[in-house]
Structure 1
């Protein structure tokens, strides 16, 4: 996907999230996320958007998006509009920043402002999935968008400093509908800079399924259709301990 496509998908996913919030009950639980409710999803995602705007406009602040959540509306009836305001601000800012301007990012793939277009695209897609699950209806995830999201999830885990296992592990992921596959090598004594993500499926454990199911399952959400696990299934427990978007 191109940065423009990421930005367009971010807007579309955010509008779906807001529609789910407007249509659902704020106290409805999010499937698979413990005590999280529909309103929690809206407050969290809107606060993340607000935090990213601060990061892009002024640099990394000494506070995080969790500090913004308590300031979000508690009244469910205004929460969708509140969220859309933050989505609109984020979209406008990301669209206005030149691609070559230096901004703080979690890592450098893709570089600069394009990183946040992609990261927020998939942050919002996953939380849209959460919100629609709580509201009782889900919009299908586009397969091409989901495939890029699977790769982005693997890149996020590759660069997460807290990810660890007792030995080096190769996690393979394969989309059965779009024909893409990757293998991520992490763990053991392997330092972060030597972790690898390559094309092709050659892992100690392989996760396979539709791209739309994999992109949410990699962030520990229950997929709509089953995914298959082959190889050393116990390694998936390691993944689940370390890979989560919240």
Structure 2
């Protein structure tokens, strides 16, 4: 993930609070945290300070050491998930207490943060269609979880008169459903797969629809197109957050 020749102190444009090194350390720590919880069948959240190697290499600015640490972090979580199997009981913050939840969550965590690092390095990026589509599904499911569970979450600010958002991927292969209709009304947020005229549509290749939906690229990026009332999509991106 740490691209050869990349300045580790460079600000990541898509997550401007982080440098490239901070981004990598965040991801590696998260992978190790999940690996420990899955391996031990954690019944409650494990504090970060109890995770071996969570902080990463002591030396700063050492790309080789950071690469090796991140690779080991990935190996740890993959080994733990494979050994446990998807149905193993493991605590999660979303109430889906099994290892399968963490396999899916970490797949998308890596997908999006790898995009952060790749775009910071100025390199091309593409996500496998089935992974990108499931990442959108999961994000919408997280928004629904926040709506059900967190009374003070910003998602409740989306309630109001009926408005709709359509996500339309232009390059999906057969068997991948990447058409979405998100409904906002007085009852809150709901969604389904489907193609339908909407108040606003976000259209483009699936990778870039995903990254726009995750607020990784701006809505005026030339690789995507916004049709209709852009202000609604801006409001969605502001308030439909990660819980």
- TM-score of the pair, normalised by structure 2: 0.77
Gaps of 5+ in 2: 148-152
Which structure is higher in RCO with an 8 Å CA cutoff and minimum separation 6? 1
Work out the CA distance in 1 between the residues paired with 2:52 and 2:204.
36
Determine if the alignment matches structure 1 residue 137 to structure 2 residue 113. Answer: no
* Higher percent of residues as helix: 1
| Aligned counterpart for 2:183 among listed residues 170, 178, 185 | 185
Determine if the alignment matches structure 1 residue 199 to structure 2 residue 190. Answer: no
Determine if the alignment matches structure 1 residue 83 to structure 2 residue 75. Answer: no
Closer, same or farther in 2 for the Cα pair 1:113/1:243, shift >3 Å? Answer: same
Work out the CA distance in 2 between the residues paired with 1:54 and 1:169.
43
TM alignment of 1:1-246, pairs within 5 A: 17-18=1-2, 20=3, 22-56=4-38, 57=40, 58-61=42-45, 63=47, 71-73=55-57, 74-77=59-62, 78-107=65-94, 112-161=98-147, 162=153, 163-164=155-156, 165-167=158-160, 169-178=163-172, 180-186=178-184, 188-190=186-188, 195-202=189-196, 203-222=198-217, 225-243=222-240
1:89 aligns to what SS in structure 2? helix
Report which of the two structures shows the higher radius of gyration computed on alpha carbons: 2
Q: Once the 2 structures are TM-superposed, how far is the Cα of residue 64 of structure 1 from its aligned partner?
A: 5.5
Closer, same or farther in 2 for the Cα pair 1:139/1:241, shift >3 Å? Answer: closer
Q: Once the 2 structures are TM-superposed, how far is the Cα of residue 75 of structure 1 from its aligned partner?
A: 1.6
1:212 aligns to what SS in structure 2? helix
Work out the CA distance in 2 between the residues paired with 1:106 and 1:185.
25
Q: Which sits farther off after the overlay, 177-186 or 213-222? A: 177-186
What RMSD, in angstroms, separates the aligned Cα atoms of the two structures?
2.9
Work out the CA distance in 2 between the residues paired with 1:232 and 1:48.
37
- TM-score of the pair, normalised by structure 1: 0.76
Gaps of 5+ in 1: 1-16
